[in-house]
Copies of this chain bind each other. A is one copy, B any other.
Amino acid sequence: MTVPDRVFASNDRFSVRAASSQLPAAPARGVAVLACMDARIDVLRVLGLRAGDAHVVRNAGGRASDDAIRSLILSSLLFQTREFVVMHHTRCGMQTSGEKLHLRLRTAYPDTVGDEIDFLPFADLDQSVRDDVRRIERSSYIDADSLVTGCVYDVDSGRLRQVSG
């Protein structure tokens, strides 16, 4: 049974419960979270949030990439989000170097170049959070009175540690 097969079977059961709880599109807590795609992180549970509470943007590293900024601008523009939380985490695969990642890519795909991809790795975990908080704060299309908080999630203890904001 492939993952999609299992997923559709599981959703048949989920939809019976979900149908009774229609939520509005606007995040009830007025917050958007930017977090890593890491499998260990159930973002809503970690942050004590429920479906309906927050926009959740995720990518490798939880980086404030141009595309993440696009999403946060839309959250702010269409749904008046004024609070943002950047959450990176311990033992992240992105805490490495671009050189190492490009070497792995060239090893896996010897006939390709791949140097055009910036994987957005980082050397220092706390600094990466501060950098991404600053990128969001400096966007021309995020209101200056927005609150941007940065934190690190410890995947071993389950604890959040505030880094910035």
**A contact residues vs B (CB 8 Å cutoff):** 2-4, 6-19, 22-32, 37-60, 65-68, 70-71, 73-75, 77-79, 83, 85, 91, 93-94, 101, 104-105, 108-109, 112, 114, 117-120, 140-141, 147, 149, 151, 154-160, 162, 165
CA distance A56 to B28 in the complex (A): 22
Please give me the residue from chain B that is nearest to A158 by CB atom: B18
Q: Are B156 and A47 in contact (CB under 8 A)?
A: no
A109 / chain B contacts, CB cutoff of 8 Å: 140-141
A51 / chain B contacts, CB cutoff of 8 Å: 39-42, 45
Q: A25-B39, A37-B57, A149-B4 are in contact. Are A93 and B74 (CB under 8 A)?
A: yes
Q: Are B58 and A162 in contact (CB under 8 A)?
A: no
Q: Are B26 and A119 in contact (CB under 8 A)?
A: no
A48 / chain B contacts, CB cutoff of 8 Å: 6-7, 9-11, 13-14
A101 / chain B contacts, CB cutoff of 8 Å: 74, 77
Question: Which single member of B39, B55, B77, B151 contacts A26 (CB below 8 Å)?
Answer: B39
Question: Which single member of B22, B39, B85, B147 contacts A54 (CB below 8 Å)?
Answer: B39
Q: Are A40 and B25 in contact (CB under 8 A)?
A: yes
CA distance A9 to B30 in the complex (A): 18
Question: Which single member of B14, B73, B117, B147 contacts A73 (CB below 8 Å)?
Answer: B117
